Amino acid sequence: MAAEVRRRIVEREWLQGDRIPDEADLAVEFGAARATVNKALQLLADEGLLDRKRRAGTRIAVNPVRKATFSIPIVREQIEAEGMVYSHRVIAQRDSPIPEDVSARTGLPEGSILTHLRAVHYGDGKPFQFEDRWINRAALPQVAGADFRALNANEWLVQNAPYLHADVEFTAANADARDARMLQVRRGQALLILHRTTWNDLGPITTVRLACHPGYVMSAAS
């Protein structure tokens, strides 16, 4: 049923913006229960092929399947998936006043004291990712007792800090002196940079800048 509707869209029997027959008519045509038709249409709507509106009926989406999903990865798993041995090193972990850019990303006021962490993740001893992270103890009181040398912050947070909302940004940057030192690359090397900020009901949990090794590819599919 979903496959047949998908075929009609892809082969352009039904065109973008067209209203498709209503559920009752489709149920008759396919000899299926209305609940089955509804489920199939919902699947296609979730994929982005259909726009469903309670009053206006179901139409073929004008910009079909424009959404792709990607997972926020666990860096250790990424490295191990490439057949490499994971290790990490905490460069610094200390409480510091919030810098301006972190204040802008999180909305936390000037003067806030956050836990600042710098760490490098390695695959077979080669730098894979440089992590520069700020953690808001106000939203995460249990962070005070955490030792990120034992379990890295990425995994500690996944296990201890469920979040309600995340912002993710991708940019490219030329490696600055610190990036170059941490990733063992020349200054100016193009790096993929991820900024990720998460919130729970108490406020911002953490914001992190991840500088990926040259050649790193982030993939998504839909």
Binding segment for a second copy among 24-32, 65-73, 114-122, 130-138 (CB under 8 A)?
65-73
Which residues in the 149-208 window bind a second copy by CB under 8 A?
Answer: 158-159, 162-174, 188-193, 200-201
Site string for a second copy, 112-151 (x = CB under 8 A): ----------------------------------------
Nearer to a second copy among residue 21 and residue 73 (C-beta): 73
Residue 21 near a second copy by CB under 8 A: no
> Which tokens go with 41?
């249409």
DSSP string, 31-66: T--HHHHHHHHHHHHHHTSEEEETTTEEEE-SSTT-
Residue 28 near a second copy by CB under 8 A: no
Closest approach of a second copy to the CB of residue 111, in Å = 27
Nearer to a second copy among residue 70 and residue 96 (C-beta): 70
Crossing angle of the two packed helices 23-30 and 34-47, in degrees rounded to 10: 110
Half-sphere exposure of 70 (CA within 13 A, CB side): 13
Q: Which of 33, 68, 92, 104 binds a second copy (CB under 8 A)?
A: 68
Q: How far apart are CA 129 and CA 160, in angstroms?
A: 22
- Coil, strand or helix at 119: strand
Nearer to a second copy among residue 16 and residue 96 (C-beta): 16
- Degrees (nearest 5) of the Cα angle 142, 128, 146? 10
Closest by Cα among 13, 139, 155 to 147? 155
What is the binding site for a second copy (CB under 8 A)?
A: 6-7, 9-12, 16, 49, 62-74, 158-159, 162-174, 188-193, 200-201, 212, 214-222
